[in-house]
A and B are shown apart, each in its own frame.
Chain A
């Protein structure tokens, strides 16, 4: 096996091993989307009424929550880099005869895999929310989630590669991650909102990931989908934007790892 492949594989494998070891992490990561779904869903469902014919608030929010939980878990792969630095294991990785780009890619794929597991687990809730899951839908959903997961993992790792402490990373989470989630159309359609909010939402690449996933579940009518310059985005166009952003994030993360001491 080449040096790059060895790095990708062993780092990916360890991420999964760690995930299986730390069941509390899995439970904690499930708790938040569940909370949002139950509390916001139950609380707002009746007062919001139908957002479009046949779409209530819960059905609108559910695909967004899936995207959000993939986003959150993926971004946490950056946390694992900071964690490894703090506890010394990163040194073991950095002095090994492995390609640094491979290590960054392995971390990205490891974080993305964990996020995929989390996202797929959330699909169990579909019947409770009143969403019909067909095998075809799931089959289409998986590559979409994977694309979002890889993109966000790479972003998390890119940021983490420049951060020395856990506290600093948590601060970045506060100022980067939460705004990105709240401004991504998870909780409300980003059409028919004040202009400043619309602009912020539409320069946020996560918005298009959320939109692509949502379009698999519900109709694009009634301003529930994202439009750009008056044009309603299709899944393919959403994906193109996420892919472009993802490619940049992955390359930047690899480059940044090559520069590590």
Chain B
């Protein structure tokens, strides 16, 4: 049995279709990433899978339980770390976990709380109120809480959003360590490309649809070789030469030309010697998931931060109001 199975999931908010016909499976024990820009439908998908939202149509099971008909079983068998903090700041770390343990009917509460707090290195701070914690500590505490009741799937919605790079790195170390220790399946969403590299498999989602799904390596191999970035005085004639003489497909982005070639390190020396245009700078790198996204959608992932999200938020608000 797969940890998560979805079949033709659709979710509409009024006119807006946030999730369009999404089908995928998550295997037991893997780290599965949902990668896409803000507003692509990642959070909506998570909310459907964790029973906070009903799909407009389609099916989904988590740990074999139907998300529409077996909500309680689904809830009992999953852990959640939301995008926005969901701790009681006026309670201590320990009290927050006790609340959770009781709500999920955890048998060996005391022992288990100690276990998870030590896992995220917050045992020493257990008696402190959460409002005295830093952003990274709060996130760690939420991860510990998500694991407390031994869920078989842990959902993480943008687990490192708004944290500085160092803290993000340390959160990931904790996540990987705990994934090994607890043998839990992880489903996470992110719009950080480097973060997606930690995943066993990634689904790239854009405007509510999955545009690609595979391991990071295979996805990157799709780009077809290495990425060459070229700075020249006259981008137009340089582009023309790249197309006509080298049979490449260059893209121009803010005055810089980019193209893909196989075995870039062998290509460059001859190219630099033979290219008719004046080269100011040239660089070579291996493809990243950013390039995969660019290739699949024609846009860079960071271009649309904000706009889409605000749109969805506005729709969500209007929708919740209308519904109540």
Q: A18-B90, A259-B324 are in contact. Are A6 and B84 (CB under 8 A)?
A: no
Interface string of A20-46 (1 = CB under 8 A from B): 011000000000000000000000000
Assess whether B207 is interfacial by the CB under 8 Å rule. Answer: no
Residues of B within 8 A of A17 (CB): 91, 95
For chains A and B in complex, what number of residue pairs have CB atoms within 8 angstroms? 72
Residue among A9, A17, A92, A93 with max Cβ neighbours from chain B (10 Å): A92
Given A10-B99, A87-B86, A91-B86, output 10 extra A-B contacts at Cβ < 8 Å.
A6-B102, A6-B105, A10-B102, A18-B88, A88-B85, A97-B75, A97-B103, A97-B105, A261-B53, A261-B320
The interface size of chain B toward A, counting residues with CB under 8 Å, comes to 31
Docked-complex contact B99 and A261, CB < 8 angstroms: no
Assess whether B263 is interfacial by the CB under 8 Å rule. Answer: no
| Interface of chain A: mostly helix, strand, loop or mixed | helix
A27 to chain B, nearest CB (A): 16
- In the bound complex, how far is the Cα of B129 from the Cα of A98, in angstroms? 25
Docked-complex contact A10 and B85, CB < 8 angstroms: no
Docked-complex contact B104 and A97, CB < 8 angstroms: yes
B69 to chain A, nearest CB (A): 15
Q: A6-B103, A21-B91 are in contact. Are A94 and B85 (CB under 8 A)?
A: no
Docked-complex contact B52 and A261, CB < 8 angstroms: yes
Interface string of B35-52 (1 = CB under 8 A from A): 000000000000000111
Q: A10-B103, A21-B91 are in contact. Are A3 and B72 (CB under 8 A)?
A: yes
Docked-complex contact B87 and A94, CB < 8 angstroms: no
Q: What are some 28 contacts across the A-B interface (CB < 8 A)?
A: A3-B72, A10-B99, A10-B102, A14-B99, A17-B91, A18-B90, A21-B91, A87-B89, A88-B82, A88-B86, A91-B52, A91-B84, A91-B86, A92-B86, A92-B100, A92-B145, A95-B51, A96-B100, A97-B72, A97-B75, A97-B76, A97-B105, A98-B103, A164-B320, A164-B321, A259-B324, A261-B52, A261-B323
Interface string of B68-88 (1 = CB under 8 A from A): 000010011000101011111
Q: Which residue on chain B has the smallest CB distance to residue A7?
A: B103
Residues of A within 8 A of B104 (CB): 96-97
Residues of B within 8 A of A6 (CB): 102-103, 105
Q: Which of B's residues lie within 8 Å of A, judged by CB?
A: 50-53, 72, 75-76, 80, 82, 84-91, 95, 99-100, 102-105, 129, 145, 317, 320-321, 323-324
Residues of A within 8 A of B145 (CB): 92
Interface string of A120-158 (1 = CB under 8 A from B): 000000000000000000000000000000000000000
Residues of A within 8 A of B324 (CB): 161-162, 259
